């Protein structure tokens, strides 16, 4: 079973939404996933109400309690997927080696055009959450295709 971890800053907006999208799209397949944050701001909290709203509007169940990323996650997961450059760097700084399983979410986005960041929608409105939903849904489709091709 391939294990995927989605990581953002606080683990209440982007990463739990990515986790929910991935879980929904791979239901019944041999994958598992989780999400975490590089910061400890929201440990134990549910996803942001706007992430929940966007997930529900797209027919995707979402249930998560925020947790902080740990260096051991590199050993526990086959793919560790960062939402942006800052979180990618923060995770790499926790280990003294080059993690071979660390990726950007938008590494899998055919529309990325060199922009690797999934923008943090926290300080904006629902439109930002809808934008990242579409961005992550596209990326996750290609991630799943990549995972399937490795079998």
State the catalytic residues: 8, 14, 120
| Residue 81, CA distances (Å) to 62, 72, 125 in order | 18, 14, 24
Q: What is the DSSP letter of 89?
A: H
| Residue 47, CA distances (Å) to 21, 29, 78, 116 in order | 13, 24, 24, 23
Report the candidate in 98, 96, 135, 143 with the shortest Cα–Cα distance to residue 118.
135
* N-to-C CA span, the chain: 10
Give me the residue label for tokens 């080696």.
97
Q: What is the DSSP letter of 68?
A: B
14 close to 29: Cβ distance less than 8 angstroms = no
């Amino acid at each position: 079973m391939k294990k995927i971890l989605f990581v953002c800053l606080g683990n209440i907006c982007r990463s739990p939404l990515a986790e929910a999208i991935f879980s929904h799209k791979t239901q019944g397949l041999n994958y598992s996933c989780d999400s975490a944050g590089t910061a400890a701001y929201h440990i134990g909290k549910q996803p942001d109400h706007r992430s929940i709203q966007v997930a529900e509007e797209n027919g995707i169940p979402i249930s998560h309690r925020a947790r902080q990323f740990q260096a051991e996650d590199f050993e526990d997961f086959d793919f560790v997927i960062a939402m942006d450059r800052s979180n990618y760097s923060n995770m790499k700084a926790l280990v003294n080696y080059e993690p071979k399983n660390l990726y950007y979410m938008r590494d899998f986005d055919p529309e990325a055009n060199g922009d690797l960041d999934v923008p943090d929608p926290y300080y904006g409105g629902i439109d930002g959450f809808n934008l990242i939903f579409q961005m992550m849904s596209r990326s996750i489709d290609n991630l799943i295709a990549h995972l399937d091709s490795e079998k």
